[in-house]
Amino acid sequence: MSNPLDTDAGTELFKHYESEYLLVRADLTQKLDQINELSGEPRKAALSAAERALEETDELVGQMQMEKQNVPSSQRTAINRRIRDYKSDVDGYRRKLRTLAEDRSALFGGRYTDNPGGASGDAQLEQRQQLLSGRFLGSQRKGNLKLIDDKGTDRLDRSTQRLKASQQLANETESIGANTLATLQQQRETIEHTTRVMYESEGYVDRSLKSIKGIARRMATNRIITIAIITVLVLLIFAVIFSKFK
């Protein structure tokens, strides 16, 4: 039997189908185990309930098979392996249900025997007469038609519920996507604003560098002028002193 939910592979809808399949499979297993303890009409009812659960598991595996197309290719191998395991499980349950349904001695209880003679011969003969009677066949047909109608109604209800769940999941996914897009739009605007501020700051820095370079040039010019004036004054002082001593 497959290991349920052993990886995180698959879309949200695939995981939804898989979770529902595991629940129905557990219910089917329980029903099949209970059939062995029943006979007569309760056994018939249990067989019908198990058949409906088996049909539902088969439908869910088919839906997982279709949803597989939306799974990323990197996860397809794991998904295919899990679907094969689920199909193998369903085939095994189908064979077990067929075996239980063909066990006529358990189905009819003490009224059925493979030996038409002996003490149970009268009961066997009576059963065969009932099976051949038109009234029994008519009631059997009505019961079968009602059972088919109930199965169709149940399957339609389950399909409707799954469609509603899928629609709700799609709406939730769409809402999450819209919120994500809105968040990304806000982040984009924030990044664009930050970029503009950075460009403006870069312009301010360039202008500041130019101003600093201008100030540095003026300071260098002033220093040269100051040195030149001092040099001229020193030369004048030496010239005056030299003229006095001469």
pLDDT of residue 134: 43
Cα torsion 204, 209, 212, 213: sign? negative
Q: What is the pLDDT of residue 178?
A: 81
The predicted-structure confidence for 4-51, as pLDDT tens digits, reads as follows: 444 455 688 999 999 999 999 999 999 999 998 888 889 889 899 999
Number of other CB atoms surrounding residue 61 within 10 Å? 19
Report, as an integer, the average pLDDT of 100-128: 58
Residue 199's CB is within 10 A of a number of other CB atoms, namely 10
User: What is the spatial distance between Cα 127 and Cα 104, in angstroms, rounded to a whole number?
Assistant: 12
What Cα–Cα distance (Å) separates residue 104 from each residue in 39, 118, 160, 230?
Answer: 9, 19, 36, 130
Rounded mean pLDDT of 192-208? 81
Confidence (pTM):
0.48
Mean pLDDT of the chain: 78
- Among the ranges given (122-126, 148-152, 154-158), the one the predictor scored with the smallest mean pLDDT: 122-126
Please say if the pLDDT value at position 2 is more than 50: no
Residue reference for tokens 């098979």: 65
For the chain, list the domains and their CATH numbers: 11-107+156-245 (1.20.58.400)
Comparing 33 with 1, which gets the higher pLDDT? Answer: 33
Length of the chain: 246
